[in-house]
Amino acid sequence: MTTAPATIGRVIGQRVKRKEDPRLLTGRGRYLDDVTMPGLLHAHFLRSDVARANITIDVTAAREAEGVVAVFTGEDLNPHIKGDMHTGPAEKGPLTPLSVGYVRHVGDPIALVVARSRYLAEDAADLIDVDYEPLPAVVDFEAALGDTDHLVHPELEDNVCVHMEVPADDELAEIFRTAAHVVTDTIRQHRYIPVPMEPRGIIVDWRPVTNELEIRISTQAPHHVRAAAAKITGVPEHWVHVVMDDVGGGFGQKAFLPRDEQCVILAAHLLGRPVKWVEDRRENLTAATHSRTERVTATLAADEEGHLLGAYIDHLDDAGAYPLYGSGGAGAFVAMLFSGPYRMGKLAWKTTSVYTNTCTRGAYRGPWQMETLAREQMLDLLAHRMGLDPLELRRRNVIHRSELPYTMPSGMEVAEVSPEETLEQAAEMIGYEQFRKDQAAAAADGRYIGVGLALYVEPQPGMGPMGSEPAHIRVAPEGHVDVYLGSGAHGQGIETTTAQIVAEHLGIDPDDVAVHQGDTASTPFAFGTGGSRSGPMLGAAVLETSLAVREKVLAIAGHMLEASPDDLDIAAGVISVAGDPTSSVTLRHVAQTAYHNPAGLPPGMEAGLDISQRYAAPPFAFSNACHVVTVAVDPDLGTVEILRYVVSEDCGVMINPNIVEGQVAGGVVQGVGGVLYEEFVYDDDGNPLTTTFLDYLLPTACEAPDVEYGHIETPALTPGGFKGVGEGGAIGAPPAIVNAVIDALRPLGVELLNQPLTPPRVLEAIDEARASS
């Protein structure tokens, strides 16, 4: 069922087919590895096989191997970096291009071989002699916190990467002392990872004679790459040219400029010859970025009726071995967003991110979704302890529209959201009351079915480098339109939605709009894609720029037709006087006049039809959704079957409902994978055990549920009223599924269960519950 109330325009809000799909679905996309050039060399990393060790390395034989152009150790490459490595703003800790003398995780890069072919580079890497003196590895992130005997970074005093806190005050202590209900428990989330279909890759061509550094890269942020590459090489920014072709998914892993890519840039800059590096799947699984791996110990206080009075959150996450963007900075959001779409009196928190001898943590779709997982699991626990239905507990606490704007206890303000409406719509769509009856009947038959809810609000940050977004629109002399975007899509359909916004306001067909992205030489500076901002921010930038172009088109047409621009409209590429279609000019004619006949323009108007604008966003906008899922659990096999999956979401005005639903579905499937199938496992010595898709299980089309969508449209107050949607599926799915499985197993005495819900884990939980009952 799709209930799409319409803020429908002629093109905005329509289910326009994705412009990029014919190219991508017929294998005609151009990805990084499709690109080649004369004289291209190929790079391969030699990576540590041991999690923590002192090392010595001998590359003599590799340097003499066939086809090898260079073998870089850290001693060769690292001094070449200008300034510091490019890391995150919040994280402290050492990071060098290649590791020298000491390694910090399996996969840590220790040498880079550049050869005539990838095969020759890999063969030569086999000849490198590494002598490992293994040291005890720090693998368990909870143990790492207090461990000062084994330091991931011996230069530091402890294993702490980031720590922030807002301590509990007397008022909160009093709430916990006197509240009718206080529940405390620990919610855990295991290690799983973004796994883009296209792994990471980069081609770097440094031309010393012309002083040009050209980079092609699979990225989410070409302009960010440009700035970072300029910083680490010392090549002035205006001589760095970054191009991003089609990108086969990023999910956060290709935001910013990762360490390996920085090494390849430095190596190519030293060599003065083009170098390509494309990681293989094993590298992507073991050495790109990992995510989740965190726990929240939460205490919730509620009054007699279950109204939430206060909470204390102790959040701990695993930063992995190195400080990188996304490794520890998300913790504050986990804490500050913990109250989410509910009324809550007080909140205090601390968050710590610790180093371990495991792959570095990076951003993953909904990097702070732990707040939703922890809160929604804790609410179900509270409801269970109180003997209340989880839906009823949520109804008693959810923020009503009349209470907006609502200031969360963290001080963040949420507005233009509809948590109550999405909760009710989702409950209605799933047939919640009837399901409870079916569940009772199933239990009588010895079948275990359950229903799980998850409600959240999701911020789209619009501050700092994410605070503004550009768009450049050019009506070409023949009346077709080019749009240049600083951000670039890595799968989410921005070519289509951008064309829709422009077509809507310029009265043309989306096929008359070409969207150009990913080339720093022709597009305006932008932060890049992430934080579900392209709907709200890029959408607003494109809309405002389209309106500016429209205004100029109407002014020129009015001058040509001797009519007031206010009396004109544009449709099908023709500008005509309202009520008099015979009095008209084409967009092509207007464009020709703008470029070729300045004398035919209104007095004082600048020639041309080419406008570039930048939209400055408010610091935060919020979208929201409710996920509700029903499952059947086989208590003998421990398997979980998803029966129905409903998402009621509110991303404001939908530019394209097909794309919105595709984004929701993609995120949901990643959540399904995370909860039921995926787990990246290390043994106690830090050896990765899940290094292929045989061991690291991804959901396939067979495991993907048919998602049923409900839409509520609460427009943002920003231009267009669009809000973000890209990350939401991956935020709501884990708690909804976990809650449903626990709900199904309650008759067997299961009260709390942590992911991943693999069959052995489910059976173990059932056994434990039976043993303690």
Ranked by CB distance to ligand MCN, the top (closest) residue is 726
Token reading at 159: 């294993």
Q: Which of 214, 380, 512, 727 binds ligand MCN (CB under 6 A)?
A: 727
Give the burial class of 574: count Cβ atoms within 10 A of its Cβ; 0-12 exposed, 13-18 middle, 19 or more buried: middle
**Of 663 and 739, which CB lies nearer to ligand MCN in the complex structure?**
663
- Specify whether the CB–CB gap between 508 and 587 falls below 8 A: yes
CA distance 651 to 492: 15
Q: How far apart are CA 375 and CA 253, in angstroms?
A: 26
| Nearest to ligand MCN of 469, 743 (CB atom) | 469
Residues 500-559 that bind ligand MCN (CB under 6 A): 529-535, 539
Q: Minimum CB separation from ligand MCN for residue 728, in Å?
A: 8
Burial class (CB in 10 A: 0-12, 13-18, 19+), 132: middle
Q: What is the smallest separation between the CB atom of 448 and ligand MCN, expressed in angstroms? A: 34
Q: Among the candidate windows 243-251, 376-384, 399-407, 595-603, which touches ligand MCN by CB under 6 A?
A: 243-251
Residue 265 identity (one-letter amino acid): I
Helices 390-397 and 370-386 cross at an angle (nearest 10°) of 110
175-204: contacts with ligand MCN (CB under 6 A):
196
**Min dist. Cβ of residue 252 to ligand MCN (A):** 4
Q: Which residues share a beta bridge with 160?
A: 354
The piece of 38-46, 323-331, 489-497, 511-519 that touches ligand MCN (CB under 6 A) is 489-497
| Residues near ligand MCN (CB under 6 A), total | 36
How many residues make up the chain in this entry? Answer: 773
- For tokens 């998402």, name the residue: 647
Q: What is the 3-state secondary structure (H, E, C) of 308-372?
A: EEEEEEEEEEEEECCCCCCCCCCHHHHHHCCCCCECCCEEEEEEEEEECCCCCECCCCCCCCHHH
* Contact between 172 and 348 (Cβ < 8 Å): yes
How far is 460 from 98, CA to CA, in rounded Å?
Answer: 35
Question: CA-CA distance, 475 to 507, in Å (whole number)?
Answer: 12
Q: Count the neighbouring beta carbons within 10 Å of the beta carbon of residue 14.
A: 19
Nearer to ligand MCN, 472 or 533 (CB): 533
- The residue within the footprint of ligand MCN, chosen from 250, 635, 671, 674 (CB under 6 A), is 250
3-state secondary structure of 721: helix
Helix (H) or strand (E) holding 35: none
Contact code string over 632-661 relative to ligand MCN, x by CB under 6 A: -------------------xxxxxx--xx-
Nearer to ligand MCN, 306 or 491 (CB): 491
Q: Which is nearer to ligand MCN, 16 or 130 (CB)?
A: 16
Query: CB 477 → ligand MCN: shortest distance, Å?
Result: 28
Q: Which two tokens stand for residue 5?
A: 């109330």
Question: How near is the Cβ of 723 to ligand MCN at its closest, in Å?
Answer: 6
Considering the rule CB under 6 A, would residue 249 count as an interface residue with ligand MCN? yes
Count CB atoms within 10 A of the CB of residue 217: 29
Nearest to ligand MCN of 452, 726 (CB atom): 726
Q: Which stretch binds ligand MCN (CB under 6 A): 123-131, 338-346, 550-558, 723-731?
A: 723-731
The yes or no reply on residue 710 touching ligand MCN (CB under 6 A) is: no
* The one segment of 25-33, 296-304, 699-707, 721-729 that binds ligand MCN by CB under 6 A: 721-729
- Should residue 494 be labelled a site residue for ligand MCN when binding is judged by CB under 6 A? yes
Q: Which is nearer to ligand MCN, 333 or 448 (CB)?
A: 333
663 binds ligand MCN (CB under 6 A): yes
Segment lying near ligand MCN (by CB under 6 A), choices 249-257, 372-380, 469-477, 548-556: 249-257
Half-sphere exposure of 20 (CA within 13 A, CB side): 23
Q: Which is nearer to ligand MCN, 192 or 312 (CB)?
A: 192
Residues that bind ligand MCN (CB under 6 A): 196, 249-252, 365, 490-494, 497, 529-535, 539, 651-656, 659-660, 663, 666, 722-727
